[in-house]
Chain A
Amino acid sequence: MTTATVRTGTRPVFWVALGLLAVVLLALPLILRSDSRLNIAILVLVYAALAQAWNLLGGFAGQISLGNAAFFGLGAYTSTILFSRWEVTPWLGMLGGALVAAVFAVIIGYPVFRLGGHYFAIATIAMAEIVLTVFNDWEFVGGAVGLLIPFARVDGRPADSWYYLQFNQHKEPYYYIALALVVLVTAVTIGVSRSKVGYYLRAIKNDQQAARALGVHVLRYKLIAIALSAAFSAIVGTFYAQYLLYIDPETTMRLELSVLIALVAILGGVGTVAGPLIGAAVLIPAAELTRSQLGGTGNAVDLILYGGLIILISIFQPNGLMGLVERVRRRGRGRPLTPPSDEEALAREEAPLLGTYEEERG
């Protein structure tokens, strides 16, 4: 029996589900009706966008970064400095931050991409730690104390302003902006995955030497991936700065943040468009709820439960939560859920030598 994995076309059911999801997401602030619950929803969207941006580099190109917080932080700092010193609107600051992060990523990526395998991940940790240290000691950007973002004021009172991207009275616009960012990064991801760049990145993830033999300029495409990943992480960074109205190196650049971004994408399902979104929707509320319900007791029960959830997903869904979705989709069609084990692959390769290979000419 030959096993075949056939790509299923997009069916009407998918579009109906997507429409329902859109309605629910748009109506969510009305349903939640509390700032603390809205806060969790906004955090879910922030991590979904960050994980999706990570996915372009880690998921498609297979370059595992544990330093994406540096790009996030650069975005937050660029727009904040432009705004607090020169009153540049954060919307422009957002683009400025994206540019700064992308250029920085390319400068870092150029030497670092020559490192193979695990060394790339280690180098990204070092890169982010260096950026963190520099910002901690740099007076111009506020050092370890951080920066306060001045309130947008009308008649001397803090006010809501789309121009200044600040909503001090009602938080709902933050939710919708975050949602728009997730849609934007996801749309870009879908666009990339269907383009030459997306195909090349998947080839690079699979086998760099084979990709080169087919004319793929491996370094160039990795640089495109890291620049895109950095730019979108930075855009989310600007949003986050405007949401908190205060930034310091610890909140925006710490290693823990880089790890969480990677974790959300990996546990959701790398290299798929929906994976990072599902990962954020499951992991972030789990983290926030366990902390608000069980945190503060001093015995870290919340962290134990949260860690336990991560271990369970790793054991039962090594392909991430998207593996679960695939399982439901393929149920009853007799298709393999996981790639064949080494033994199976070997048996399959040896089959033709034993003469059981069925002839097939198109």
Chain B
Amino acid sequence: MALLEVDGVTKQFDGLVANQDVSFHVEEGEIVGLIGPNGAGKTTLFNCISGFFPPTRGTIRLDGTDITGWAPERVVHQGLARTFQVVRTFPDLTVRENVMIGAFARTNSTAQARRIADELIAFTGLASRADVLGANLTIADKKRVELTRALATGPRLLMLDEVMAGLTPTERVQAVELIRAIRERGVTVLLVEHVMEVVMPISHRVIVLDSGRKIAEGPPAAIVENPEVIAAYLGEKYRPQRTGED
């Protein structure tokens, strides 16, 4: 049984269809990339899975449990945590306190939450920033805090929404290393990215969305060759000749 099963999910906002009959699954221990051009419906799908929007149709199962339409806080306790594309670090809380909020999903003890936070802060390389307020962090550190505190909830599936956006090339390399290390800890990762290049090297499988529909799925090497994907990213004009001729 797959860890995450998304089955025929459709999300409509009034007349606008943001997701149309999207189905895919994520196996335990995988790193899966979810990509697509701007407006493809990635973040909407993300919000449906993590409980921020109820899908109009379709079901979402986490480890066999139907979590369709569950509130986000309930989804977290079921073992699914997410980050936000636009960082939402708590500005008045220190880095350690930010991470402790996540850790409290697992414990009622402040001391225990602090221990979990300190261990994870060291793991993600934020140890020297532990006492800095969220408001005073660089964007790269804020993204790292988002990831660390999501990890602190003890998820089986971690969904990262554009963690690479806005990072320098050096920081991206560090982020890739970190995501691999997270998987080594036994956490499955679903990665949403706009930029294709960052997803390809670390994903076992890639799912491509365009205009709300899934247009391709497969190993990264096959995806970059896929004419539909190339067309979606570059426009009809650049569609390879053999599929465009007539």
Contact = CB atoms under 8 A, between A and B. Distances in A.
A351 B136 contact: no
Contact of B90 (A5, A196, A210, A348): A210
Given A209-B52, A213-B150, A357 B138 contact: yes
A25 interface: no
Given A4-B136, A351-B138, A214 B125 contact: no
Interface in B97-125: 97, 100-102, 104-105, 108-110, 113, 121-122, 124-125
B138 A352 contact: yes
A349 B108 CA distance: 34
A343 interface: no
Interface string B81-95: 111100011111110
B66 interface: no
B57 interface: no
B113 to A, nearest CB: 7
Contacts of A218: 73
Contacts of B52: 209, 212-213
Contacts of A340: 135-136
B140 A6 contact: no
A361 B129 CA distance: 10
Interface in A174-204: 194-196, 199-200, 202-203
B212 interface: no
B132 A5 contact: yes
Size bracket of the B interface: 35 or more
B90 A352 contact: no
B88 A199 contact: no
Nearest to A362: B127
Taking each of B93, B104, B171, which has the highest tally of chain A beta carbons within 10 Å of its own beta carbon?
B104
Q: Is the interface of A mostly helix, strand, loop or mixed?
A: loop
Contacts, number: 131
B76 interface: yes
A351 B167 CA distance: 11
A202 B138 CA distance: 22
A7 interface: yes
A216 B90 contact: no
Contacts of A355: 168
Contact of B71 (A199, A212, A351): A212
Question: Shortest 5 CB-CB distances between A and B: which pairs?
Answer: A362-B127, A215-B76, A215-B105, A210-B88, A206-B90
Interface of A: 2-7, 194-196, 199-200, 202-203, 205-207, 209-218, 271, 336, 339-340, 345, 348-349, 351-353, 355, 357, 359-362
24 contacts: A4-B136, A5-B131, A5-B132, A199-B101, A200-B101, A202-B93, A206-B92, A209-B84, A212-B52, A212-B72, A213-B50, A213-B88, A214-B102, A215-B76, A216-B104, A339-B133, A349-B139, A351-B138, A352-B167, A357-B138, A357-B168, A359-B170, A360-B125, A360-B128
